[in-house]
Amino acid sequence: MLDQLEELPLFPLNAVLLPHARMPIHIFEPRYLDLIRNCLRNETGFGICLIKSGTEVGGTADPHLIGTACRILSVQTHADKTMDIMVEGRRRFRIRKIDEDSHPYLIGHVEPVSEDETEETNRLLALSARVRELTQSLIEQALQHANMQVASIKLPEDPAALSFVVAEFLSLEPQIQQRFIEFTDTSERLAELIPILEEHLANQEEPLYTKLSVEELSEWINLN
């Protein structure tokens, strides 16, 4: 069975990378500089996992078994040989075995995690519509705080992609995000997002979503 698994370099972090989301990472440890250089040389990505126990810097870390494989979008190398990279989440994986000996960083033997097919199409569409409606309201409010008006808002049509994009927009705690990438039922993920979105809308005096800037929303909106 292990022969059929993909070998994927692992980067444990105290953060979750969601599919479709982007994340900046400052690379300074020699083992992870080595990881990034190998990925660039081989034109491959790596896997990001939330740390279950252990440390992010200097020591060992025990990662959660489900993470997100990413691709490297950009790299900036500094005079001190450290790097700043931007990555984008692509697909989820499940770790079946970890190799700690062949490289200075962890290598996971992984299999893909896929969404379940649903027979409740009407429920899925209804949940998607509600999440889209609430998210549009939040984006409009966020931009109103910046004294800007929205001409149109672009959100993913695919329900699974929509659920991940909205979860990233809400800047949820890592443990909640981890639960979201472990779900394989799109409807379940969307259903959990709705009360969170409703709570954010109710708390208009202290909007939790203003962490995202206009620039970060640029892929979704057209301004007047």
Both 184 and 155 in a single domain? yes
Q: What is the pLDDT of residue 209?
A: 45
Name the more confident of 160 and 54.
Answer: 160
What 8-state DSSP symbol labels residue 16? -
Its pTM stands at 0.83
Both 181 and 208 in a single domain? yes
For 156-176, b where at least 16 C-beta lie within 10 A, e where not — what string? beebbebbbbbbbbbebeeee
Residue whose C-alpha is closest to residue 18's, from 172, 196, 121: 172
Instruction: Assign 65 a pLDDT band (cuts: 50, 70, 90).
Output: very high
Count the domains in the chain: 2
Both 72 and 139 in a single domain? no
Vertex 138 angle, CA 134 and 142, to 5°: 170
Last residue of a domain, one of 69, 94, 112: 112
Q: What is the pLDDT of residue 207?
A: 46
Both 208 and 142 in a single domain? yes
Dihedral of CA atoms 209, 214, 216, 220 in degrees, nearest 10, equals 90
Both 84 and 140 in a single domain? no
List phi, psi (to 5°) of 67. Answer: -140, -165
Burial of 181: CB neighbours in 10 Å, binned 0-12, 13-18, 19+: buried
Tokens of residue 49, six digits = 């996992």
Name the more confident of 41 and 154.
Answer: 41
Q: Which helix (H) or strand (E) holds 169?
A: helix 159-169
Name the more confident of 183 and 4.
Answer: 183
pLDDT in tens, 159-172: 999 999 999 989 89
Percent of the chain scoring above 90 in pLDDT: 68
Evaluate whether 147 touches 214 at the Cβ level (below 8 Å): no
Name the more confident of 101 and 75.
Answer: 75
Vertex 15 angle, CA 115 and 180, to 5°: 25
Both 9 and 100 in a single domain? yes
Tokens of residue 195, six digits = 């009360």
pLDDT in tens, 116-173: 887 788 999 999 999 999 998 888 877 776 666 666 678 899 999 999 999 998 989 9
Range of the domain at 24: 2-112
Q: What is the pLDDT of residue 61?
A: 83
Both 83 and 6 in a single domain? yes
Both 48 and 125 in a single domain? no
Query: Once rounded to an integer, what is the mean pLDDT over residues 95-106?
Result: 92
Last residue of a domain, one of 112, 131, 163: 112
Q: What is the DSSP string of 188-218?
A: HHHHHHHHHHHHHHH-TTS-TTTTS-TTTTT
Both 98 and 150 in a single domain? no
Q: What is the pLDDT of residue 148?
A: 64
Both 97 and 126 in a single domain? no
Domain of 107, CATH number, reads 2.30.130.40
Q: What is the pLDDT of residue 221?
A: 55
Both 149 and 73 in a single domain? no
pLDDT in tens, 160-213: 999 999 999 898 999 999 999 999 999 999 999 999 999 988 875 554 444 445
